[in-house]
A = this chain, B = another copy of it.
Amino acid sequence: MAETQAQHMVLAVSTVVFSLRPHPDTGELTLWLPLVRRIRRPFKGHWALPGGPLENSQDLAAAAKDAVRLSTGLQPRHLEQLYAFGDVDRSPHAPERVISIVYWALVRQDEDAQAVDAENVDWYPVEEIPGPLAFDHDLIVRYAVDRLRAKVTYSPIAHAFLPGEFSLAELRRVYEAVLNRALDPSNFRRQILSQGTVEDTGRRATGTAHRPPRMYRSAPQSSRYALTIEENNDPVRA
């Protein structure tokens, strides 16, 4: 059975990598992601998600992390499995059937500034993807954005975009960029503080043109699950 499989299937791992950068026109913070221009068939010349075939000795998450590192030189601060895509007809012009296990990742805003893009890699705002992408990657990107937007509302993943210390206004701007809508500063403050997901460092920012804000750090999680270093919600052994 394994032999039959082997000749006609490839198992690949890809990653949708999110970062926050100002929009070139409006200057507003928005979601960006890196794409890789394909240099071979099928879909030669189209843009695609970073990824590649799964190596035999690699865990799935490790392969997803490698996709980030190899395309951008960055280390993801949050990594989580999105979905496995494996319809028989999803790679129409490919020699083999491709099953893709897709992850999504967040990178820190300050680290993103030092991104070293590999050959044929470019970043795009999620609303301005140079489509159609290769394979079913348009669908995957849309799904990943939906998941990120949903998850940010009930989980403290937004912290993963920020450095170790941040003001609540910075955190709010992250939420606003992800959700693409303005949030009330005072209510946002109360909600975040009541969650207990951040703690006051006692320090304040300096050099602002106005009242200096308190700086916070993200608090150690008190989930009933043991969390992995990426703070994802994968099923874990107790």
Report which A residues bind B (CB closer than 8 A): 1-11, 53-60, 81, 83-84, 86-88, 96-97, 99, 101, 139-140, 142-143, 146, 234-237
Contact = CB atoms under 8 A, between A and B. Distances in A.
22 contacts: A1-B10, A2-B96, A5-B10, A5-B56, A6-B7, A9-B54, A11-B11, A54-B86, A56-B97, A57-B88, A59-B86, A59-B88, A60-B86, A81-B83, A81-B84, A83-B234, A83-B235, A84-B101, A101-B101, A139-B235, A139-B236, A142-B235
Given A1-B53, A54-B86, 20 more contacts: A2-B10, A4-B56, A5-B6, A5-B53, A5-B56, A6-B6, A6-B7, A9-B11, A11-B11, A56-B97, A60-B87, A60-B99, A81-B84, A83-B234, A86-B101, A101-B101, A139-B235, A142-B235, A143-B235, A146-B235
Nearest to A103: B84
A115 to B, nearest CB: 26
Contacts of A4: 55-56
Nearest to A225: B146
A84 to B, nearest CB: 4
